Every structure is written in structure tokens, then in C-alpha cells.
Amino acid sequence: MDSSVYPNKDFVAASKKWVSIYCNKESEHGSKKVGLDKELCAIIAGITCDEHTKNFAELSGKFFKGTIMNPTHIWCDPDGNEIGRQVGAMPTKGLVEKMGEALKKVGPGLGGDEYAYMNDKIAEGQKASEENKPKDAIAAWTAVTKMSKNPGAKNVVARAQAGLDKLNEYGKDQVAKAKDLATGGDVEGARKLLKEIYSGYKGLDCAKDAEKEIANLPKPK
Ligand SMILES: [Zn+2]
């Protein structure tokens, strides 16, 4: 597999949709010098023998009990749960087919362009939030959370949702502050603050809360 299947261009193309972790506890095959000061594994491109022996130590206990058949291929969903396994060697074509089956179980996944777009939007939201432009931050982060139907987007969507949650929490604190102002007799101060939250945080629960509290305030004279 190391010398015939993994370097095959069809396997390389199929593997680009996966994060591949090569596990091998052997290191007798040795390493080769790359450049001036780098020593890489002699049989697997781009990693060191230290890396693949560590991978084996970390993961063998999670996926195997007792004897480990070499080679075994295991496919996992983005959370690391096993969704497919192939014990024993097989030709490139068969392995690529197996990868296709596993891919169907995971769902459509996230394309590179989508991923870049979502990351840009998250950064845009972060910047707007730091510049105290909640409207812009909400627009940018909501563009990301809209993509939550794609299971492959789960982790990126969670990052955008965390930003929205933080803004909502801040908005709710401001609504509570406005209520205190109103109780203390500063009705116009409360009204001003509530209007800010109502118009600046639209789309979040705190804006709805602010709307309700505005309706509860005594009418301006
Ligand atoms: Zn090695």
C-alpha cells in the first residue's frame, strides 16, 4: 500500500476530501534527508517516522482491541466517529470506491471555496464587533449560520454562533440596565438605551426584549 496505492494519482485525488492520518509503529524502514536539516520518513511522503509512530500510539487503542491487522483503513466523520473500515490490502480502485461510500455517509461536506467564504465572514464579524458595529457583525455572522444545513459546516457555524451569542448576551445586559434606569426614574435614559439595542441588534433575542421594554415604558410627555 505504501509504495503502490498511496502515491497513485487516483488515491491522491480521492484523499483530498479527507484528513489522512497515517499510523505505523515500525520505523526500521528508516528516514531520508530532505534539504539540509530535515529527516523525513523513507516510505511516506511529507511526515517523519516519529509522527507516524506517535499517531499509532495515540489512535490504536481507540480503534482496535487485541490484534491489529496491517493494513487496516478506517474512515471517520468530522467528530472522529468510525463510519467505515477495510481490513487487509486492496487495489487503488477498490479503496477509492470505499472512500466514496464513506463520503456518502458523512454528507456533502464543505468545499474549499465555501470554507474560505465562511472564514472571511467570521473575520468580518469579529472586526465589526470590535469596532462596535453590531449591525454589521450580525449580518456577517448570520451569513455563516445560514449555512448550518450542511453537516460539514458544523464547526465553522458554531464559531459564528458563538459570536452572535456573545452579542446577544451584551444586548440583554443593556436591556437589564435600561430597566434599572427606568425604575430609578430615568425613563428617557432607559428609552434611549432600549432604542439603541432595538435598532442595533435586530435579528437577536435582545432586540425583541428591548422592543417589549419600550412598549412597557410610560409614554413620553
Ligand atoms: Zn517512517
| Residue 154 pLDDT | 87
Q: Which candidate, 180, 177, 170, 178, places its Cα nearest to that of 201? A: 170
At 199 the pLDDT is 97
| Domain extent for 186 | 112-216
Position 221 in a domain: no
- Ligand 1 centroid to Cα of residue 1, in Å, is 14
- 74 and 121 together in one domain: no
**Residue in this structure with the C-alpha cell 499509532, named with its chain if needed:** 56
Beta strands in 26-81 (DSSP E): 31-34, 38-41, 72-76
Q: How far is the CA of 136 from the centre of ligand 1 (A)?
A: 50
Comparing CA positions, the residue from 56, 41, 45 lying closest to residue 15 is 45
Last residue of a domain, one of 40, 73, 106: 106
Mean pLDDT of 70-97: 92
- The pLDDT value given to residue 191: 97
Whole-number Å distance, alpha carbon 29 to ligand 1 midpoint, is 6
Gap from CA of 55 to ligand 1 centroid (Å)? 11
Q: Are residues 83 and 149 in the same domain?
A: no
Domain end marker among 106, 128, 150: 106
Query: Given this model, what pLDDT does residue 19 score?
Result: 87
* 208 shares a domain with 125: yes
Q: Which of 81, 106, 131 is the last residue of a domain?
A: 106
Per residue in 157-188, pLDDT (tens digit) is 999 999 999 999 999 999 999 999 999 999 99
* In the chain, % of residues over pLDDT 90: 74
Q: What's residue 49's pLDDT?
A: 96
The answer to whether residue 190 is domain-embedded is yes
Q: Is the pLDDT of residue 108 over 90?
A: no
Q: Is residue 2 part of a domain?
A: no
Q: Do residues 132 and 194 share a domain?
A: yes
For the chain, what is the domain count?
2
User: How many angstroms separate the alpha carbon of residue 46 from the centre of ligand 1?
Assistant: 10
Cell numbers found for residue 107: 454528507
Is 28 a domain residue? Answer: yes
Phi, psi of 165 (to 5 degrees): -60, -40
The proportion of the chain whose per-residue pLDDT surpasses 70, expressed as a percent, equals 100
Centroid of ligand 1 to alpha carbon of 41 (angstroms): 4
Q: Assess whether pLDDT exceeds 90 at residue 212.
A: yes
Does residue 47 form part of some domain?
A: yes
pLDDT at 57: 95
| Whether 17 and 73 share a structural domain | yes
Residue 221: its pLDDT value, please?
Answer: 65
Residues 21 and 77 in one domain: yes
pLDDT for 18: 87
Most confident of 1-15, 89-103, 203-217: 203-217
122-133 mean pLDDT: 97
Same domain membership, residue 150 and residue 94: no
User: Both 66 and 117 in a single domain?
Assistant: no
| The pLDDT of residue 74 | 96
Dihedral over Cα of 131, 133, 137, 140: its sign: negative
Among 99, 112, 104, CA closest to 15: 99
Looking at per-residue confidence, does 2 or 30 come out higher? 30
